[in-house]
Structure 1
C-alpha cells in the first residue's frame, strides 16, 4: 500500500490533526479494514486483538503532540524551555534569598557586639526559617539572610532565636525585610523574555548595559534608567525591590556600592564604567483614591462585595507596577485608566453595573510623571464604594 504524500502544514494544524487521532480513531480505522462478515463488536476476538495496538498508537499521537510543543519556545515548558533559554545564551532566573535587618540587644537593651558573620538565628513558629549574619549597619543592627530561597521568608518579621550559642543575647527580632526574595522565574516570564526582540547590544555603559547590570543584582525587582540626567557621565537608577515596592535605604546603599561605590564614584570600582557617576534612588509614591458607584444583584452581603471590588482594583494597580519599568524607545510612561478600573469591577460576579470611577476626586485618567527629576509609583490608597 502506498504511503500518503506528506503535505506541509503548520505546527498548530499538525497538533490539531494529531488530537483527532485518539483510540476510537485508530480502532475504527483498523476495523474498517476487516471484512464485514467478521464479528467486529466490542468484546469480539478481532476487536480485542486490535484494541491494544490502537491504544498504543493513540498514546504515540499524544507523545508527538508533546514533542511538537516542547520543540518551540512559544509552547515549551519546564526543562525543555530551559534548554531553549540555553540556546539563546540565557537561563531561568532562580529564586533569591530574603535579606533582613535584625535588632539584637542584651539584658540592658544595649546592642550586642560579639556577633560574627555567619552566626545563625531562627524564626519562631511551626515552620522555622533559618538566617545567617552577612553584615552590620552603622547603627549597630545586623544584616541577615534567609538560608532558604524563595518568598516564604518575606512574610516573617518578629522574634528570632539564636542558633549559634551567645550568652550576651537577651532579645533578637527582625525589624525590616530590606530585600524581599523572589521565587524561580515562571515559564511565562522566561518565555516572554525569550520571545522579546532585542535589537540593542549591551556595551560600554549604554542603557542596555545598565539593564544587564541590574538584572544581575537579584535583589532589584525593576529599574528605570535615566542617562545623562545631570549632564554627560551621570546616570540615575530608580529601583524597586522584588515585591515591586520602593527600595529600602539599605537596599539602595547595597546597589550603589555594587554599581558605583560612593567614596570612589566615577572611578570604575563598581559595575559602572570609568567616568560614570551613578545615583541610585527609589520612586516617590503617588497615592490614588478610587471612588466608584456600583449596582449589585443583592445576592451577597455588602461587606463581601466591597472586599471583592477592592481586591479587583488592587490587582489592577499591581499590574500597573509590573509595567512600571517598561519603556518605549527608552521613554517611560504609565497611565491609570478609569475605564480599565471599571472593566475590572464589572467582571466581578454579583456586580451588574458600575459608573466610571473618579480618581482623587477627578473625572479624568492619571498620567504618572517620569522625568530626570521625578519618577512616580502608583499606590492604591483607598477605594470608596457608593452603593
Structure 2
C-alpha cells in the first residue's frame, strides 16, 4: 500500500463512516433518525473523529518524501543532508555616462538605481569595473529582474550622471526551488558518492553555487590534474564572463591555481568556460484551421518551439545513456514537429528542416568543444 493509498483510505473515514458505525451498535428499537436524542448525542463525536481522520491523513502524506510538501518536505531534505535552493538576486552590468556620452567616475558602491515602469526593480551598486561600468545587484530576489535591459534612473543623487543603462544581465537570478524539483533531487537514484575531486564532487560543488544553473564536467581534458567545467546560468544559457570569473574564483582562484585555496582539491587545475551556442534554423510548412490565422498562431508556435529547446537544454548536462560516460544531445525534427502540432489551431505541418538539412542535429561534446542548442530563424512557410 502506497502512502497515497493509505491517506485516501483514512480520508474515507468521514462523518458518515463514524456515525454509521456507532449507530450500528445502538439497538434497533431506539429512534436513530436525524434529530433524535441518540443521533444528536453521537453526531458531534462522529464529526470530531472525522476531523482527526483528516489530520491523520495529512500526517501520513507529510511523512514521506514522495507526498510531503512545503516545510515538511524541507524537513525531509535536511534529513538527507541538503536544503531547498532559495531564490537569488540578479546581478547586472550597467554603464554610467555624462551629457557627452563619456563614462563618469563618481558612481560609488552602494548607490541605488531603479528600472523604468510602474513597478520598478531597485538595484544597488556592488562593484565598479576598471572601464567605469558597474555591477549592480537587484534588491529583490527571484527572476523578475532577469528580463530587464535598458535605462535605469538614479535613486542616489548624482549631478554628473546624464544616462545610466543596464547592458547585460551578468548573473540571472532564480526563484525558490519548487517542491517537485526538490522531491526529484531527494529521490534521485544516483549512487555516485561525491568525494575527493571526482565528477560527482565537482557537480556537488557547482550545485551549491546559486548562480550556476547547469554544468558539464570534463576530467583530465588537458592532461593529468586538469578539469574543465562548462556551465550555464540560471536561464540555462551560456554563462557570461562575469559568472565564469566568479565560479573560477570559487573553485580554483586564478592567483593560487592548483593550491587548494578554492573548492577544488590540491593539484587540480580547473578551467571554467561556457558552451558554444549553436543556432538552429527551422523551416516547416504550417497548415492552420480555416477559422484561424497563421499570424495569430505564430507567437504560440514560436513559444512551443522555444519550450522544446529549453527542455533539451535541461537535458544538456545528462550523462550519455548509451555509454554511461560523457554527454550526448540531439535535436530531433520529429519532436519539434510534435511540439508544433500540439498548438491549438495547427492542423498539419511538414517535417522541419534544421539548418536547411533534412536531418536531426547531434551536438558535439568533447574535451575541446561543448555545444548548446538555441533557436535560430524560424520559417513557417517553408
Q: TM-score w.r.t. structure 2 length? A: 0.90
Whether 1:192 and 2:184 are equivalent positions in the alignment is: yes
Computed over aligned residues only, the root mean square deviation of the Cα atoms, in angstroms, reads 2.4
Whether 1:216 and 2:216 are equivalent positions in the alignment is: no
CA distance in 1 between partners of 2:21 and 2:346 (Å): 51
Name the counterpart of 2:139: 147
CA distance in 1 between partners of 2:28 and 2:296 (Å): 65
CA distance in 2 between partners of 1:350 and 1:108 (Å): 52
Name the counterpart of 2:357: 362
Whether 1:172 and 2:168 are equivalent positions in the alignment is: no
CA gap of 1:48–1:362, structure 2 versus 1, over 3 A, is farther
Among 322, 334, 338, the alignment partner of 2:333 is 338
CA contact (8 A) 2:3 2:67 kept: no
1:145-193 deviations in whole A, cap 9, x for unaligned? 1122111211222222333333332322211111110011111111111
Name the counterpart of 1:5: none
Report the number of matched residues. 379
Name the counterpart of 2:86: 94
**Deviation of residue 247 (structure 1)?**
1.3
Whether 1:79 and 2:66 are equivalent positions in the alignment is: no
CA distance in 2 between partners of 1:50 and 1:303 (Å): 66
Name the counterpart of 1:159: 151
**Deviation of residue 48 (structure 1)?**
4.0
What is the DSSP-based 3-state SS (H/G/I as helix, E as strand, rest coil) of the residue aligned with 2:284? strand
1:183-214 deviations in whole A, cap 9, x for unaligned? 11111111111111342332332222211221
Name the counterpart of 1:25: 17
1:24-62 deviations in whole A, cap 9, x for unaligned? 333333334444444444455544443333333222222
CA distance in 2 between partners of 1:11 and 1:73 (Å): 10
CA gap of 1:108–1:361, structure 2 versus 1, over 3 A, is closer
CA gap of 1:295–1:102, structure 2 versus 1, over 3 A, is closer
CA distance in 2 between partners of 1:67 and 1:276 (Å): 48
Name the counterpart of 2:175: 183
Q: TM-score w.r.t. structure 1 length? A: 0.89
Return 21-30 or 191-200, whichever deviates more.
Answer: 21-30
What is the DSSP-based 3-state SS (H/G/I as helix, E as strand, rest coil) of the residue aligned with 1:327? coil
What is the DSSP-based 3-state SS (H/G/I as helix, E as strand, rest coil) of the residue aligned with 1:223? strand
Return 364-373 or 345-354, whichever deviates more.
Answer: 345-354
1:308-329 deviations in whole A, cap 9, x for unaligned? 2222222111111111112244
**Deviation of residue 126 (structure 1)?**
2.3
Name the counterpart of 2:373: 378
Runs of 4+ in 1 over 6 A off after TM superposition: none
Task: Point out where structure 2 has 5 or more consecutive residues left out of the alignment.
Answer: none
CA gap of 1:270–1:54, structure 2 versus 1, over 3 A, is same
CA distance in 1 between partners of 2:381 and 2:17 (Å): 58
